[in-house]
Amino acid sequence: MTVLDHTREGRGRPTIVFVHGFGCARDDWRQQVAHLRGRFETVAVDLGGHGTTPGTDAHEIIDTHGRDVAALLGELDIERAILVGHSMGCRIVMHAMSEQPARVAGIILVDGSRLGAAGSTAYLDRRKRVAEIGYRAFIEPMFAQMFRPEADRAVAQPIIDRALNMPAKLAGNLFPNIGKWDAERFDEIFAKARVPLLAIQTTYMTPAGERASMTKGQSSAYLDDVRRLVPGARIEIMENAGHFPQIEQPAEINAFIDDFMTKLKV
């Protein structure tokens, strides 16, 4: 089991554990950690093969990352955690919750998605495409779409470059596995949620496969599935946002987390 490199700051319970997305790192949550550490203990992790945590072949699948986060809760003796995931990290915190339900008091999902309904084999096409054109050529246009045209390039480009510089074998196999997990594990894992869950959504995928900003009152197949599988889930839409609201619009994300923590009964 990989011991995840992590930063542990602040004091106060419950502990808020931050899990980044594909090709990202714990520093993505720095503005949330700075906002919260005066009131809560925070833990921000680097997943296997990301940031400063070494990766192995086992980190080419979502399940391993979920088990790593669950194991870290035990290793750090965190009795009650709020798990916060972004993008791919949404799957990982849900998987960790299923492994350590007694240690999880709440879940916050930031701009999650679903890359395949139950039984879908679309991930096989993604795997084939990565093999045909190479990891960098596959992932670069995808990450470019994660930012609005008016986004600050000084913010966006380092995030894109970081994803491009991931170990090609690990990342090239991990990304298609996101869709495999969605097709095979999403329904099962989400249905296990028995704690308050907040989904903060900023983008959705158009029928053409392009990422676009959400508008108030809008839904998506992913959000419909969250509502179906987690009765009582709270859904909040952020308009005029890209895929990295915790970086580009931190005050809004911080306000949602504050409100969730205020209403949480632990």
Distance CA 175, CA 233 (A): 27
For residue 2, what pLDDT is reported?
59
Distance CA 167, CA 143 (A): 16
- Containing H/E element for 221? helix 221-229
For residue 171, what pLDDT is reported?
98
Percentage above 70 pLDDT, the chain = 99
What is the number of residues in the chain?
266
Burial of 240 (0-12, 13-18, 19+ CB in 10 A): exposed
At residue 62, does pLDDT exceed 80?
A: yes
At residue 47, does pLDDT exceed 80?
A: yes
For residue 246, what pLDDT is reported?
98
DSSP code of 86? E
Catalogue all structural domains in the chain, each as residue range(s) with its CATH number: 6-263 (3.40.50.1820)
Q: Which amino acid is at 1?
A: M
Angle at 165 between CA 58 and CA 173, to 5 degrees: 30
Q: Write the pLDDT tens digit of every residue in 115-170.
A: 999 999 999 999 999 999 999 999 999 999 999 999 999 999 999 999 999 999 99
For residue 135, what pLDDT is reported?
98
Q: Is-contact 251 244, C-beta < 8 A? A: no
